[in-house]
C-alpha cells in the first residue's frame, strides 16, 4: 500500500490515548468531476461511477447526513466523499487504510483503521482526526455513533471500544465469550447494543457501558447487521454468506428471509409497506430485492468479479455499493424494482373496454355507461360504479360504439345504469344498450346539469350509507375528482361535484351531503386547492360540520399525490392528467380493487408522484391509455425535471 503524497509529507504527531491525533494536511482536496456514468448499463436505473483510482480497493460505503456518500478506500488510505450524482466531491487522505464507516449525522463520517489500530473522524470540511485504540493490535473492525458515543468492535482482542464525543476519552469493555466480534448496531428505543460474532455465530447484547445483557444464536458465520432506513430503528436483519436472517432481539429468535445465495455482501432493510430487503450478492455481481412474500428481483452489473462490498441508501431511493476489484461505485435506483404494464387502445372507448376486460374477465352483474365526449357526468359515475364493483364504459353521444356494445354483451350484466341526460347519452345510444341486453334492466340517472346528476347519484340507493365521509371536488374541471374517486370508494362513499367558484352549496348539494353525513361529526373532505374550491365554500361547509379536511397542492399532480398519500392502496394506476377519459374508467376499477389513480404528465412522471410510489414501496403500476396519452418515458418511470 503506497502512501499518498499528502500523507507522506505530513508529520504525524502521536499523543496520549485521550487526546486526538490530528494528521497535518489531511484536509479534503477538491477533485474534478469523474463520475460519468459507464456505458453499456443493463438498465437506466443501474449505473457505475469511477472513483479516483481503479486499484484503490473501496470496501465500505455509508450515507452522509445530506444525502451524499462516503467511501472507504483501503489501498489508497483515503476516504472519498461522493455527491448525489456520483461525482467526487473530495478526497481525504489518512495514515492507514480505512475499513468500516459510520455517518456522524452532522456532515462528517467515522471510520476504523484496521491495521493502524485507530478510529478516525472526518468532518464536513474534510479535516481528519485520528484516535489510537489503547490495546495494541486490537484490529478495530466496525464502528457506529450512538447516543453521544462512538462504539467500535476490537476483532483481535474481543473487546467493545467506546469513545466519548464530549470528553474525547476512550474506554474498552471485554466481550466475554466472544471470538471475533465484528459488526454492531445500537437500538435507540432501548439503548442496547447488538454485536455479531463471526467466530461463534452469536449475536451479543450489551448495555451502553458494556454490561452483559445476554445473547442468542445467529446463522453460522454471521458477520453483519443490515442497515435500516433511518438510523435508530431497532436491529432487524443480520446476514452471513448466502443467508439473511430476521432477528428478534426481544424474543431471542431468528427467522430466515433469504437463503441459497452465493455471497451476500451488504443488506438494507426497507421501511415501507410491504416490507422489503435489498442486498448485494458478490457471487453474482448483482443488486437483489426480496419482498415480504419471498419474491425476488435481481439486477446484475455488466461483467463479473466486481467484488461488491457494503451497501447503503440515500434519499430513501438510491442504493450504493463499492466495487472492491474495479475501484468503482455502483448505484441502483429502487425504481428499477417497479414493474409497469399498460392498458390502452386506439381510442378512449377501446381503452375503457380493455380496462373492463382486465378487471372483470368473467363478467359483471352491473355496468355503468356514460358520455366519453365530456367529463362532467362520468366524474360522479366513477366512484359509484366502483362502490358497486361495476365497470364504467364510455360511449359517443350519438350512438353506442360497436366495441362498447360487444363488451356489454360479454359482461352480461343484469342491470345497466346510464349516467347523464339525453344531451350526454342520446336516446339512440340508450335504446342500443337495451337492444344489446334485452334481459337486463337499463335505467338512466340524469339531471339539469352536472351538479344535479351528481346529487341524484348520491341520493340514490347505489351509494351506501353510514360512512360519515364524503368528497367534494369542483365540477368545472376534472383532475381533482379523478384522483378522489378510488379514495372515496375505499371510504365507502362518493364524490359530490360542486361549483368551486361558488361561495355556498345549493339545496340539493346540502341534502346530498346530509344523506352521507348524518351528524355534525361527519367528515367532509375537499379535494383541490383554494383556486379549485373557494375558501368561502369551504367556510360554508365548516359551518355545518366540525371536521373538514382539504387535500390541496400547487397543481393537479400535487393534489393527486396528497390524496393518495393518506391511505394504504394496492398497485396504482397511472393516467394522464391532461385528459379525462382514461382516468374516468380507471378510477371506477381502481376503487373496486383498492388501488389508487396517480395523475401524470404526458411525457414524464411528476416528482411528487414518483416519490410517493417509492415511499409506499410500490412494486407494480399499470398505465392507462396508449403512448399518445402516456409516453414510453412514463412507463419507464422517468421523472420530470
Closest CA to 290 of 267, 310, 307, 313: 267
The domain spans of the chain are 5-337, 340-635
CB 549 within 8 Å of CB 526 = yes
Residues in the chain: 641
pLDDT computed for residue 270 by the predictor: 62
- Dmax (CA) for the chain in angstroms is 96
Quick one: cell of 471?
A: 368528497
Torsion sign over Cα 340, 342, 343, 348: positive
Q: Tell me which of 435 and 567 has the higher pLDDT.
A: 435
Q: Please, which pLDDT band fits residue 223 given cuts at 50, 70 and 90?
A: confident
Mean pLDDT of 17-36: 41
Residue 7 pLDDT > 60, yes or no? no
Residue 263 pLDDT > 60, yes or no? yes
Domain spanning 5-337: which superfamily?
YVTN repeat-like/Quinoprotein amine dehydrogenase (2.130.10.10)
Closest CA to 175 of 149, 142, 147: 142
Q: How far is CA 291 from the centre of its chain?
A: 13
pLDDT computed for residue 269 by the predictor: 75
Cα angle for residues 600, 274, 585 (degrees, 5° grid): 35
Q: Which residues pair with 73 in a beta bridge?
A: 58, 78
427-436 and 402-411 helices cross at what angle (nearest 10)?
40
Q: Please, which pLDDT band fits residue 238 given cuts at 50, 70 and 90?
A: confident
pLDDT computed for residue 58 by the predictor: 98
Q: Tell me which of 248 and 392 has the higher pLDDT.
A: 392
- Select, from the ranges 166-175, 207-216, 578-587, the one with the highest average predicted confidence (pLDDT): 166-175
pLDDT tens digits, one per residue of 462-481: 999 988 999 999 999 999 99
Closest CA to 329 of 629, 107, 53: 53
Residue 43 pLDDT > 80, yes or no? no
Beta strand 296-300 with 286-291: parallel, antiparallel or unpaired?
A: antiparallel
Q: Which residues pair with 205 in a beta bridge?
A: 194
Q: Give percent of the chain above pLDDT 70.
A: 90
Tell the residue number behind the cell numbers 468503482, with chain if given.
Answer: 328
CB 480 within 8 Å of CB 578 = no
Mean pLDDT of 145-155: 97
pLDDT computed for residue 227 by the predictor: 65
Q: Please, which pLDDT band fits residue 231 given cuts at 50, 70 and 90?
A: very low
User: CA 278 to CA 260: how far, in whole Å?
Assistant: 15
Mean pLDDT of 270-295: 81
Mean pLDDT of 425-430: 96
DSSP character at residue 605: B
Q: Please, which pLDDT band fits residue 187 given cuts at 50, 70 and 90?
A: confident
Q: Tell me which of 1 and 339 has the higher pLDDT.
A: 339
User: CA 366 to CA 626: how far, in whole Å?
Assistant: 27
Q: Which residues pair with 276 in a beta bridge?
A: 291
User: CA 135 to CA 131: how far, in whole Å?
Assistant: 12
Average pLDDT of every residue of the chain: 88
Residue 42 pLDDT > 70, yes or no? no
Quick one: cell of 177?
A: 465469550
Tell the residue number behind the cell numbers 368545472, with chain if given.
Answer: 476
pLDDT computed for residue 129 by the predictor: 98
Q: By mean pLDDT, which of 97-111, 115-129, 185-199, 344-358 is the weakest?
A: 185-199
Torsion sign over Cα 36, 40, 45, 51: negative
User: CA 482 to CA 473: how far, in whole Å?
Assistant: 9
Phi and psi dihedrals of 407, rounded to 5?
A: -70, -40
Q: Which residues contact 307 (CB under 8 A, 6 or more apart)?
A: 282, 323, 324, 325, 326
pLDDT computed for residue 229 by the predictor: 46
CB 70 within 8 Å of CB 64 = yes
Mean pLDDT of 164-168: 97
Quick one: cell of 231?
A: 438510523
pLDDT computed for residue 513 by the predictor: 94
User: CA 268 to CA 276: how far, in whole Å?
Assistant: 9
User: CA 15 to CA 508: how far, in whole Å?
Assistant: 84
Quick one: cell of 456?
A: 341524484
pLDDT computed for residue 244 by the predictor: 87
Beta strand 366-371 with 415-419: parallel, antiparallel or unpaired?
A: parallel
Torsion sign over Cα 380, 381, 386, 388: positive
User: CA 141 to CA 234: how far, in whole Å?
Assistant: 21
Residue 206 pLDDT > 50, yes or no? yes
Q: Tell me which of 415 and 518 has the higher pLDDT.
A: 415
Quick one: cell of 162?
A: 467506546
pLDDT computed for residue 235 by the predictor: 58
Q: By mean pLDDT, which of 8-17, 321-330, 552-561 is the weakest?
A: 8-17
pLDDT tens digits, one per residue of 490-508: 999 999 999 999 999 999 9
DSSP character at residue 577: S
* CA-to-CA separations, 133 to 16, 97, 100, 137, 264, in angstroms, rounded: 10, 15, 15, 9, 30
Q: Tell me which of 3 and 421 has the higher pLDDT.
A: 421
pLDDT computed for residue 9 by the predictor: 25
Q: By mean pLDDT, which of 5-14, 91-100, 327-336, 621-630 is the weakest?
A: 5-14
pLDDT computed for residue 466 by the predictor: 85
Mean pLDDT of 179-185: 94
Q: Please, which pLDDT band fits residue 104 given cuts at 50, 70 and 90?
A: very high
Q: Give percent of the chain above pLDDT 90.
A: 70
**Strand arrangement, sheet containing 339-343:** 339-343, 620-624, 570-576, 595-600
pLDDT tens digits, one per residue of 548-602: 999 999 999 999 999 988 787 889 999 999 888 888 889 999 999 999 999 999 9
User: CA 330 to CA 322: how far, in whole Å?
Assistant: 6
Residue 141 pLDDT > 60, yes or no? yes
pLDDT computed for residue 25 by the predictor: 40
Q: Please, which pLDDT band fits residue 439 given cuts at 50, 70 and 90?
A: very high
Mean pLDDT of 609-637: 90
CB 32 within 8 Å of CB 16 = no
Residue 614 pLDDT > 70, yes or no? yes
Quick one: cell of 326?
A: 474495479
Question: HEC profile for 514-550?
Answer: HHHCCCCCCEEEEECCCCCCCHHHHHHHHCCCCCCEE
DSSP character at residue 260: S
CB 168 within 8 Å of CB 19 = yes
Q: Please, which pLDDT band fits residue 612 given cuts at 50, 70 and 90?
A: confident
Residue 264 host element (H or E): strand 264-269
Helices (H), 212-307: none
Q: Please, which pLDDT band fits residue 225 given cuts at 50, 70 and 90?
A: confident
Amino acid at each position: 500500500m503506497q502512501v499518498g503524497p499528502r500523507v507522506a509529507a505530513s508529520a504525524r504527531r502521536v499523543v496520549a490515548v485521550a487526546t486526538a491525533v490530528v494528521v497535518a494536511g489531511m484536509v479534503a482536496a477538491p477533485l474534478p468531476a469523474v463520475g460519468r456514468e459507464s456505458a453499456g448499463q443493463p438498465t437506466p436505473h443501474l449505473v457505475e461511477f469511477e472513483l479516483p483510482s481503479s486499484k484503490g480497493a473501496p470496501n465500505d460505503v455509508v450515507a452522509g447526513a445530506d444525502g451524499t456518500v462516503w467511501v472507504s478506500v483501503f489501498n489508497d488510505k483515503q476516504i472519498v466523499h461522493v455527491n448525489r450524482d456520483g461525482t467526487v466531491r473530495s478526497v481525504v487522505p489518512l495514515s492507514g487504510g480505512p475499513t468500516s464507516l459510520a455517518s456522524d449525522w452532522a456532515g462528517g463520517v467515522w471510520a476504523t483503521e484496521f491495521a493502524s489500530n485507530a478510529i478516525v473522524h472526518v468532518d464536513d470540511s474534510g479535516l481528519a482526526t485520528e484516535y489510537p485504540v489503547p490495546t495494541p493490535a486490537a484490529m478495530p473492525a466496525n464502528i457506529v455513533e450512538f447516543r453521544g458515543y462512538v462504539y467500535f468492535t476490537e476483532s483481535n482482542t474481543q473487546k467493545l471500544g467506546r469513545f466519548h464525543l464530549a470528553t474525547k476519552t476512550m474506554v474498552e469493555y471485554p466481550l466475554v465469550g466472544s471470538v471475533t466480534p465484528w459488526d454492531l448496531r445500537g437500538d435507540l428505543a432501548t439503548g442496547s447494543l447488538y454485536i455479531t460474532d463471526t467466530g461463534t455465530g452469536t449475536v451479543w447484547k450489551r448495555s451502553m457501558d458494556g454490561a452483559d445483557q445476554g445473547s442468542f444464536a445467529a446463522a453460522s458465520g454471521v458477520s453483519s447487521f443490515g442497515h435500516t432506513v433511518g438510523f435508530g430503528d431497532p436491529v432487524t436483519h443480520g446476514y452471513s454468506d448466502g443467508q439473511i436472517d430476521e432477528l428478534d432481539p426481544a424474543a431471542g429468535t431468528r427467522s430466515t428471509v433469504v437463503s441459497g445465495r452465493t455471497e451476500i455482501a451488504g443488506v438494507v432493510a426497507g421501511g415501507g409497506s410491504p416490507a422489503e430487503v435489498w442486498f448485494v450478492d458478490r457471487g453474482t455481481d448483482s443488486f437483489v430485492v426480496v419482498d415480504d412474500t419471498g419474491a425476488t428481483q435481481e439486477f446484475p452489473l455488466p461483467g463479473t468479479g466486481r467484488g461488491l462490498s457494503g451497501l447503503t441508501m440515500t434519499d430513501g431511493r438510491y442504493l450504493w455499493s463499492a466495487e472492491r476489484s474495479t475501484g468503482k461505485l455502483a448505484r441502483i435506483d429502487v425504481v428499477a424494482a417497479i414493474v409497469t404494464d399498460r392498458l390502452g387502445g386506439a381510442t378512449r372507448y377501446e381503452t375503457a373496454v380493455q380496462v373492463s376486460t382486465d378487471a372483470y374477465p368473467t363478467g359483471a352483474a352491473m355496468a355503468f355507461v356514460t358520455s366519453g365526449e365530456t367529463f362532467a357526468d362520468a366524474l360522479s359515475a366513477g366512484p359509484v360504479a366502483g362502490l358497486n364493483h361495476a365497470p364504467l364504459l364510455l360511449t359517443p353521444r350519438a350512438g353506442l360504439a360497436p366495441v362498447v356494445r360487444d363488451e356489454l354483451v360479454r359482461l352480461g350484466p343484469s342491470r345497466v345504469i346510464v349516467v347523464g341526460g339525453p344531451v350526454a347519452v342520446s336516446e339512440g345510444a340508450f335504446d342500443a344498450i337495451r337492444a344489446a341486453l334485452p334481459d337486463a334492466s337499463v335505467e338512466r340517472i340524469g339531471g339539469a346539469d352536472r351538479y344535479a346528476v351528481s346529487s341524484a347519484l348520491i341520493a340514490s340507493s347505489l351509494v351506501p350509507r353510514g360512512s360519515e365521509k364524503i368528497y367534494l371536488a369542483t365540477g368545472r374541471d376534472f383532475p381533482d375528482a379523478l384522483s378522489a374517486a378510488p379514495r372515496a370508494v375505499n371510504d365507502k362513499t362518493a364524490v359530490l361535484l360542486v361549483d368551486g367558484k361558488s361561495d355556498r352549496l345549493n339545496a340539493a348539494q346540502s341534502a346530498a351531503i346530509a344523506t352521507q353525513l348524518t351528524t355534525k361529526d361527519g367528515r367532509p373532505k375537499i379535494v383541490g386547492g383554494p383556486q379549485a374550491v373557494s375558501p368561502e365554500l369551504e367556510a360554508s361547509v365548516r359551518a355545518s360540520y366540525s371536521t373538514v379536511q382539504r387535500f390541496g397542492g400547487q397543481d393537479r399532480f400535487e393534489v393527486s399525490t396528497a390524496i393518495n398519500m393518506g391511505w394504504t392502496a394496492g398497485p396504482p394506476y397511472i393516467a394522464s392528467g391532461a385528459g379525462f377519459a382514461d382516468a374516468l374508467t380507471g378510477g371506477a376499477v381502481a376503487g373496486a380493487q383498492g388501488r389508487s389513480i396517480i395523475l401524470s404528465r404526458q411525457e414524464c412522471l411528476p416528482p411528487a408522484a414518483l416519490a410517493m410510489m417509492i415511499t409506499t414501496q410500490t412494486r407494480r403500476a399499470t398505465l392507462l391509455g396508449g403512448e399518445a396519452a402516456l409516453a414510453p418515458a412514463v412507463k419507464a418511470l422517468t421523472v420530470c425535471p
